[in-house]
Structure 1
Amino acid sequence: MRDPILLPLDLPELAVDLSGGDVRRTVHPSGLRVLTERMPASRSVSIGFWVGVGSRDEQAERSDAPGSLGSTHFLEHLLFKGTPTRDAYEIATGFDRIGAEHNALTAKEYTCYYAKVRDADFEQAVTSLADMVTNSVLDTNEFETERGVILEELAMAADDLADVANERFFEEVFGDHPLGRPIGGNAETILAANRDDVDRHYHHRYDPSTLVITAAGAVDHDRLVALALAALDASHEERWRTNVSRVPVRRATAEVVENAVPVCSSQRVVKVDRPSEQINLLLGTNGLPTGDPRRFAFGIMNSVLGGGMSSRLFQEIREKRGLAYTAYSFGASYTDAGLFGIYAGSAPEKTAAVLEVSKNELARMAADGITEEEFERSLGQIAGSSALALEDSDTRMGRLARAELGTGELYDLDASLERFEAVTAEEITSVASMLAESPLTVVAVGDVAKAVIPEQ
């Protein structure tokens, strides 16, 4: 079985062939890490500036300041709003002029600023992203304008009842732990936010030791490293200088142990009343962390249970009984914790039946496992979807970053598929049993007065 490519933080240079692409990695003494994957015949490149800081890290900034919550998402917006050499309009027109796809995202464990451009515009994209990340002025007027924009974004999410159910589900499963908080904050925290808290977050958390730059497609590794180092040294902020030696930061085991995620110890049912024709229903419990060796068995189990139109949940809930239009299962993994869930949207009078079928299918898999035909079908689904995803430079760029920021192990497609193929029937049953025997949380959002939702 092929081993993953290890990414030790004390290894200055690495060059390997990965799934047909040339992968290179540089760890600079400043703490900056640059990873690239050159894709033959590509005429575009995806570039990401990843900071290993997410919404779960906000508590450590200043626990007595309510405005510190939501700082990660607030900062993501503000970095598009101007530097000493570019205002917000110039940043926007600079990307539009070259036809770039550009945006940013905030997650629970990282933040990313990215662009996808044609090969001829690679240097301009790198320069613009670097300027945004290292030189944001966090203008006071722009701060207030963006407060309104974020409040509208949150209001838009609040109108999507599936989003409401998802946020509440995370909150119930993870409890008071930072992983349970909404990534974007809420109206209360955004209204309480102030520029000083966001600026403190920016200056305390953003520096070369937390920055990972990845690119995939038509990329020249050495040129990207040179551009990145020049941009950091040209920053108006002293903390970005590359002549200072720093230890690169990867989420530490000690931090994980000290900030352990609580495990759900009791079953609960949460009902959120909202005007709606459907009940958005989520059922689940704690799952597997990112590096858990059982994750490959979970992948097979999840595929069979609720991973596609031939899955057990889809067939039983939609195709055979007509209880819902959509039904699926999923997992979310973080450094020290995970979450497993089943989602369905159904009419209120069908909610009890959907819950019963979902629990029964999970229990049946825990008791009886899966068939050989289901195993082969899930392998084909995973192999095919993975291969298709890797045709996209965005996927490859993200794969590099998540390996670097997460486990420090980079799997190519073949190494990953070998591990799925090696999963045993007993391992699948064991994972399903662990989930089925755990206290289950139910979240229902909609016109819950019309629904029959058993109290477990």
Structure 2
Amino acid sequence: MYRKQELANGVRVVTEEIPSVHSAAVGIWIGCGSRDESEQQLGLSHFLEHMFFKGTKNRTAKQIAEQLDAVGGHLNAFTTKEYTCLYAKVVAEHLGLAIEVLSDMYFNSLFAELDLAKEKKVVLEEIKMYEDSPDELVHDLFSETVWQDHPLGRPILGSAESVSSLGKDQVIEYLYKQYVPENTVLAVAGNIKHHEVVNRLDDVFGQFRRNGGKRLMSPAVFQARSRNFAKDTEQLQICLGVPGLSQDDKDIYALYALNNMLGGGLSSRLFQEIREERGLAYSIYSYHTSYSDTGLFTIYAGTSPENYQELIEVILKEIYSFKNKGVTEVELQRTKDQIKGNLLLGMENVSSRMSRLGKTELSFDRVVTAEEIVKEINTVTRQDIHMVAERLFNRASFSSTTIGQTNNELLWPQLLANSGL
């Protein structure tokens, strides 16, 4: 089902043929994100992503927006800490148009001074909107807390000061250094033919040459700390967590299962105990973020300041239970079925399939299939869950970040000490 071909210049093409659908999705995946930025470049990866939509030698910004809209298609992009993606989804017969528009953006963007100035204003408004959403902001502040002074601890959007200082020369220099053939993956999924797609992509991507530097990423050192950010809000926003696992860690599938049982859904222990049984929070969940060499396991909740102590006590109690009492076979089987169901249902979407092709090829230099993940999930045992809980949940590794009207740095150490962890 999955096929891969490397073009002469090092660009990788990965495809999946799905004859039963009417659509096709194509993505340009670049192994470059906010982690690749220096302190003087904060927000540059995200800003560059914006600038690809502002006009090329062949199309105005309006024409870029209109051409895929006119055929019922969808065009977008996003930036993460370790990669960037430009992508489109169209009816399969219009795949050629999608490739034409994306490649035009990739190779022929003008980066005009007037457009740079206007888009800075847009990004600055995006930053303000984000800072006005404490339930979103707290996650970035938590990363900053535990990875202080490291690129993984910096916000993808950058800051108002850093974005305001970006210039055209910086943008173009960064583009030519990072957006190089060996750092580029082209992923296509849908009602397509592999050889036809490769030939079409080779025509537009096979000839470009850029001599960027080798990608260097400094290791991130986790710092266990507690911080509160005072803000006049009704709720207290809370993130607490521990160092996680890297993308290729041997225990990653056991961690997927643990996270799902602890706080990954409506039937999870944290949701049932904190929201359904005690009514302490409307929003409560856990998640794990993996990077190439590290990870971060996070629990988030929003609650009234007077509920903070009880809520933290319940969270730590549930973590203690995972570490010392384990899980039942019934609970483990239920979470396996849930993970597999969510995964396989997601694979009915061609955009999801394209994303899996691009992301895993960038991360592992191969496609990690849904079937492979299902197989790995099926092998997870109760002992595996216990071992990964032992590995992650050490009292000395816990950190917390809160946004609100009270100084919870004073409560957190004592609550942690009383947890038994």
- TM-score (ref. length: structure 2): 0.94
- 1:149 corresponds to which residue? 122
- 2:419 corresponds to which residue? none
- 2:96 corresponds to which residue? 123
Question: Is the counterpart of residue 413 in structure 1 residue 370 in structure 2?
Answer: yes
String of CA shifts for 1:8-66, please: whole Å, max 9, x gaps: xxxxxxxxxxxxxx22111112011111111121101111011111110012xxx5xx2
Moved more, 405-414 or 166-175: 405-414
Which residue among 261, 267, 273 is the counterpart of 2:220? 261
Which residue among 390, 394, 413 is the counterpart of 2:347? 390
String of CA shifts for 1:100-122, please: whole Å, max 9, x gaps: 11110001111100111111211
- 1:8 corresponds to which residue? none
The separation in 1 between residues aligned to 2:58 and 2:345, in whole angstroms, is 40
- 1:430 corresponds to which residue? 387
String of CA shifts for 1:357-393, please: whole Å, max 9, x gaps: 1111111101111111110110111111011110111
State the secondary structure of the residue aligned to 1:116: strand
Give the deviation of 1:342 after TM superposition: 0.5
Which residue among 399, 406, 414 is the counterpart of 1:441? 399
String of CA shifts for 1:322-371, please: whole Å, max 9, x gaps: 11112111100000110001111111110111111111111110111111
The separation in 2 between residues aligned to 1:409 and 1:127, in whole angstroms, is 26
- 2:148 corresponds to which residue? 175
- 1:13 corresponds to which residue? none
The separation in 2 between residues aligned to 1:360 and 1:195, in whole angstroms, is 52
After TM superposition, list the pairs within 5 Å mapping 1:132-281 onto structure 2. 132-232=105-205, 241-242=207-208, 255=216, 259-264=218-223, 266=224, 268-281=225-238
Give the deviation of 1:415 after TM superposition: 2.4
String of CA shifts for 1:158-201, please: whole Å, max 9, x gaps: 11111110110111122221111111111111112122111110
Give the deviation of 1:450 after TM superposition: 9.4
State the secondary structure of the residue aligned to 1:41: coil
The separation in 1 between residues aligned to 2:323 and 2:242, in whole angstroms, is 15
Q: Tell whether the 8 Å contact from 2:242 to 2:398 is kept in structure 1 after alignment.
A: yes
The separation in 1 between residues aligned to 2:131 and 2:11, in whole angstroms, is 38
Which residue among 15, 18, 25 is the counterpart of 1:46? 25
Q: What are the ranges of 5 or more consecutive residues in structure 2 without an aligned counterpart? A: 415-421
Give the deviation of 1:223 after TM superposition: 2.2
Q: Tell whether the 8 Å contact from 1:284 to 1:341 is kept in structure 2 after alignment.
A: yes
Q: Tell whether the 8 Å contact from 1:30 to 1:245 is kept in structure 2 after alignment.
A: no
State the secondary structure of the residue aligned to 1:219: coil
Paired letter, 2:29: W
Moved more, 162-171 or 409-418: 409-418
The separation in 2 between residues aligned to 1:84 and 1:184, in whole angstroms, is 27
The separation in 2 between residues aligned to 1:433 and 1:321, in whole angstroms, is 27
String of CA shifts for 1:93-145, please: whole Å, max 9, x gaps: 11221121111000111110011111121100100001101111111110000
The separation in 2 between residues aligned to 1:71 and 1:247, in whole angstroms, is 16
Give the deviation of 1:229 after TM superposition: 2.2
| Identical amino acids, percent of aligned pairs | 37
Q: Tell whether the 8 Å contact from 2:76 to 2:86 is kept in structure 1 after alignment.
A: yes
- 1:76 corresponds to which residue? 49
Moved more, 422-431 or 379-388: 422-431
Which residue among 276, 282, 301 is the counterpart of 2:258? 301
Q: Tell whether the 8 Å contact from 2:30 to 2:83 is kept in structure 1 after alignment.
A: yes
Cα distance change, pair 32–346 in 1 and its aligned pair in 2 (3 A): same
Q: What are the ranges of 5 or more consecutive residues in structure 1 without an aligned counterpart? A: 1-21, 234-240
Q: Tell whether the 8 Å contact from 1:51 to 1:211 is kept in structure 2 after alignment.
A: yes
Paired letter, 2:239: L
State the secondary structure of the residue aligned to 1:410: coil
Paired letter, 1:446: G
The separation in 2 between residues aligned to 1:376 and 1:395, in whole angstroms, is 25
The separation in 2 between residues aligned to 1:248 and 1:383, in whole angstroms, is 40
The separation in 1 between residues aligned to 2:212 and 2:189, in whole angstroms, is 25
State the secondary structure of the residue aligned to 1:99: coil
Give the deviation of 1:245 after TM superposition: 10
- 1:17 corresponds to which residue? none
- TM-score (ref. length: structure 1): 0.87
State the secondary structure of the residue aligned to 2:2: strand
Question: What is the count of residue pairs matched by the alignment?
Answer: 413
The separation in 2 between residues aligned to 1:248 and 1:178, in whole angstroms, is 18
Moved more, 408-417 or 297-306: 408-417
Give the deviation of 1:306 after TM superposition: 0.8
- 2:72 corresponds to which residue? 99
Cα distance change, pair 245–299 in 1 and its aligned pair in 2 (3 A): same
The separation in 1 between residues aligned to 2:403 and 2:172, in whole angstroms, is 36
After TM superposition, list the pairs within 5 Å mapping 1:339-358 onto structure 2. 339-358=296-315
Cα distance change, pair 317–190 in 1 and its aligned pair in 2 (3 A): same
Q: Tell whether the 8 Å contact from 1:98 to 1:121 is kept in structure 2 after alignment.
A: yes
